[in-house]
Structures are given as C-alpha cells and as structure tokens.
C-alpha cells in the first residue's frame, strides 16, 4: 500500500512539473558544493569534494536532459551563518538546484531547513547528526553516507564484546559530537556496558591535555573520542604521549582514511572504526579510488566517494524525470534502488535517510600493509537495516 502511494506521489509530481517536456530551470543544472575548504575537516571533504563532484559530472557526460551541468563551490568555514548566507545567495541569485556535502552538522541542519523551504534538494554526505532525519528532517533533505547512530553500532558493539565495558567520552561540543556521544552511549548500554563520565571540548582544539588527564583518572576501560578531523588526530597523538593507550582502549567513533594517513600506521595500528565505504572493498571502488588518487594525490574518504555517488544518482533522477524540480527529484529518490561503486541495494526512506551497509574496519600494522594507502581490513559488515534508526523509532514529523 505504501509503495503504491509513493508511486502515485511520484507520478503526480512529475506531471505537475511537466517532466515530459524536460523542464530544466534556467536551462542548466547547477550543483552547489558547500564544504570545509580550509578547516579541520578539509581533508575529508574540501577540494577533494569538489573533485569528486566534477568527476561525477564528467562521467555523466557534462550534461543532463540536454542541458549543461555546472558546479559551484564555497567554504562554509564550519559556521552555520556563513553557510546559510551562501546557500540563500546560490538559490536566490545563481539558480543552484541542489546543495551537497556540508560536512558539519550545524551547517547541515541550517542549510537543509533553508533549502527545503525554497524547494531545493540537499544531499548531505559529510555531516553526521541523526537530527537531520529526526527532529530536523525536511521534505527535500537526503542524508546519504553515515550518521551518528550507524557509527557506534559496529565499533562500540565490537569493543564492548571484547571486554571494554566502562566508557569515558571526550566529545566535540556541537551538534555532531553531542549526537555521537548520545548514540554511542545508547549502544554501549544496550550491550551491557557503562558510561562513567564525559567531557566536551570546543571545535578546533589543539591542547587536549586536561581532557585526557580526566579520562585517564576516570577508571574507564575505553576512552571514546567523539570528534573528527584534526580534533581527532590531535587527541590520538596526545593520548599516546600521555600513555593512555598503554592501559586503556582508545576508540575513534568517526575515523576517515585521511586520519589514518595523517597518524601513520605506527600510531593508528589496531584501531577499529566503522565506515560506509573503503577504497579497497571491491573492483569498482578500487577503479574510482585510483582515478581520484591520480587527480588529488590521496585516496578518497567515504564522504568524497559518497558525494560522487550522490551526484551521479541526482543526475540520474533528472535524466529519468526530465526535470530538476525539487519535489519530483526527491520523490524519484524515494522510489529507486541505488547500485554503484559506493553502495548496493541502497534505498532512501521517507525521512531522507539512505539505507545501506556499513563496515567495521581495523587498521593494519606497518608489516601488514603491502602498498601506499593499504591501511585497513574489513572485519565485518553491518546490514543497513541494523546500522540505521528504523522508521518506527524516527521522530521525523514527515512520518506523521
């Protein structure tokens, strides 16, 4: 019944938008990449996110429905006000049809709300908060790569099962970190573990000494880092200097390949983490990753790989419906199953959450690594229906 209703909604939206006449606003499809170009997440998204978008456009042929595809980009500087201002400018003055990436939860929440109110689709590939598909969900918002519920399902479960029962959190004090700490705590407790304490730090912290001392004296088995980017790598390095890894397990709750590269295998070896994608997971992934490496000098993060997939599927939606009208494109996403180098049999729920498998990775020792960027093994697969919050527990108002 629900499937038939969704099909009817898609057909109605296509008819209303004049899809059969290839209704492309402004005679071009304009993609806005809003990312962190210079800050602590720039290696995760940044210039590489723009490259991934451009690769998707090039591979699509540079046009869709007979119209050219343009890519614009901007640095949101990890500030929601700057991001919102740029998004408004793009939509009102430059005819941007979709805004992608975002790579900061506060930014993503603000831009998703603004864009949806103006009929523009957002595809978030970088931000992690589950609020995007719960209390802050929006009709035209899609949360594509990962979220703070999926990350601990793999990592925290494995650590608790291996004896890490008592946890202490060092958390970035903004929407992403708070969401990650809560979701991880829920998983720890559900598996029989305990949270013995936590402390929060500002974004872009360089000195973690006071936080690490508190974690060290807490008596916790596990010190969980609820941060990302250079915050994460700085914390890991300083934890080693304090000798924390000699007596406590250090858990990275959001780790990217760029983090492992920055830390080096000698420091990062043995680290377990959950990811939506790894460059060496199959032939398709390797082929894309090698092309990306040639252009950028680094292997793609799951955010950059997910962005390539998201843009490709966005363009397919326009090709199939004949329009870039937001409601029609979003309805198409709700009807399709995505299969590409990033994910298989992936679907988009009514609240905007993309459901796909996640992977538990383990960082190799220096001796196990056989070539540059050969950093991890896939230890297990977390099915999509287990990794993400089920619709029955979503607080998204669109489901009422």
Which pLDDT belongs to residue 10?
52
Q: What's the rounded mean pLDDT across residues 192-205?
A: 97
The reply to whether 322 falls in a domain is yes
Do 73 and 200 fall within a single domain?
no
Render pLDDT for 247-286 as a digit per residue (tens, 0 to 9). 999 999 999 999 999 999 999 998 999 999 999 999 999 9
Whether the predicted pLDDT of 358 surpasses 60:
yes
Do 228 and 365 fall within a single domain?
yes
Do 154 and 136 fall within a single domain?
no
The reply to whether 395 falls in a domain is no
Q: How far is the C-alpha of 86 from the C-alpha of 126, rounded, in Å? A: 17
The reply to whether 107 falls in a domain is yes
The reply to whether 398 falls in a domain is no
Which pLDDT belongs to residue 260?
97
Q: How confident is the model at residue 21 (pLDDT cuts 50, 70, 90)?
A: low
CA torsion sign, 359 to 364 to 370 to 375? positive
Do 53 and 109 fall within a single domain?
yes
Do 100 and 29 fall within a single domain?
yes
Structural domain range at position 336: 2-148+282-357
Distance from the first to the final alpha carbon of the chain: 16
Q: Among 85, 84, 112, which residue's Cα sits nearest to residue 98?
A: 112
Which pLDDT belongs to residue 335?
97
Whether the predicted pLDDT of 176 surpasses 60:
yes
Q: Under 8 Å CB-to-CB from 341, ≥6 apart: which residues? A: 282, 284, 285, 287, 288, 305, 308, 309
Between residues 13 and 227, the one the model is more confident about: 227
Do 19 and 139 fall within a single domain?
yes
The reply to whether 193 falls in a domain is yes
Q: How far is the C-alpha of 231 from the C-alpha of 42, rounded, in Å? A: 12
Query: What CATH number does the domain containing 298 carry?
Result: 3.40.50.2300
Whether the predicted pLDDT of 331 surpasses 80:
yes
Average model confidence (pLDDT) across the chain: 94
In the structure encoding, which two tokens stand for residue 244, read together? 């924390």
Do 167 and 95 fall within a single domain?
no
Which pLDDT belongs to residue 22?
67
The total of structural domains in the chain comes to 2
Do 25 and 138 fall within a single domain?
yes
Do 83 and 228 fall within a single domain?
no
Q: What's the rounded mean pLDDT across residues 15-28?
A: 68
Render pLDDT for 57-102 as a digit per residue (tens, 0 to 9). 999 999 999 999 999 999 999 999 999 999 999 999 999 999 999 9
The reply to whether 396 falls in a domain is no
Do 6 and 137 fall within a single domain?
yes
Do 15 and 144 fall within a single domain?
yes
Do 276 and 287 fall within a single domain?
no
Which pLDDT belongs to residue 245?
87
The reply to whether 136 falls in a domain is yes
Q: How confident is the model at residue 400 (pLDDT cuts 50, 70, 90)?
A: confident
The reply to whether 247 falls in a domain is yes
């Amino acid at each position: 019944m629900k499937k038939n209703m969704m099909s009817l909604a898609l057909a109605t939206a296509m008819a209303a938008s004049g899809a059969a006449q290839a209704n492309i606003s402004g005679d071009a499809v304009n993609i806005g990449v809003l990312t962190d170009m210079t800050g602590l997440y720039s290696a995760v998204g940044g210039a590489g996110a723009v490259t991934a978008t451009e690769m998707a456009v090039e591979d699509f042929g540079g046009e869709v429905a007979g119209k050219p595809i343009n890519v614009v980009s901007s640095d949101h500087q990890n500030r929601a006000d700057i991001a919102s201002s740029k998004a408004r400018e793009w939509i009102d003055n430059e005819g941007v049809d979709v805004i992608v990436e975002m790579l900061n939860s506060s930014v993503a929440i603000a831009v998703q709300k603004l864009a949806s109110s103006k009929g523009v689709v957002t595809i978030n590939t970088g931000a992690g908060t589950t609020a995007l598909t719960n209390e802050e969900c929006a009709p035209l918002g899609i949360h594509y790569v990962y979220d703070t519920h999926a990350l601990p399902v793999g990592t925290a479960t494995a650590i608790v099962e291996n004896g890490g029962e008592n946890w202490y959190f060092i958390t970035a004090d903004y929407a992403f970190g708070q969401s990650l700490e809560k979701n991880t705590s829920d998983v720890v407790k559900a598996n029989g573990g305990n949270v013995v304490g936590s402390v929060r730090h500002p974004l872009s912290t360089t000195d973690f000494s006071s936080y690490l001392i508190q974690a060290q004296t807490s008596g916790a088995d596990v010190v969980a880092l609820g941060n990302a980017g250079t915050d994460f790598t700085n914390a890991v390095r300083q934890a080693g200097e304090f000798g924390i890894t000699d007596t406590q397990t250090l858990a990275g709750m959001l780790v990217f390949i760029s983090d492992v590269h920055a830390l080096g295998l000698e420091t990062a070896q043995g680290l377990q983490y959950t990811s939506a994608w790894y460059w060496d997971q199959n032939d398709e992934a390797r082929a894309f990753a090698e092309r990306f490496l040639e252009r950028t000098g680094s292997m793609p993060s799951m955010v950059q790989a997910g962005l390539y997939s998201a843009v490709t599927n966005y363009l397919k939606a326009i090709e199939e419906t004949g329009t870039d009208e937001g409601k029609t494109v979003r309805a198409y996403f709700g009807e399709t199953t995505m299969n590409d180098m990033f994910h298989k049999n992936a679907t988009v729920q009514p609240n905007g959450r993309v459901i796909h498998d996640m992977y538990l990775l383990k960082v190799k020792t220096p001796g196990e690594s056989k070539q540059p960027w050969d950093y991890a093994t896939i230890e297990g697969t977390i099915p999509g229906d287990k990794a993400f919050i089920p619709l029955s527990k979503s607080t998204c108002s669109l489901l009422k």
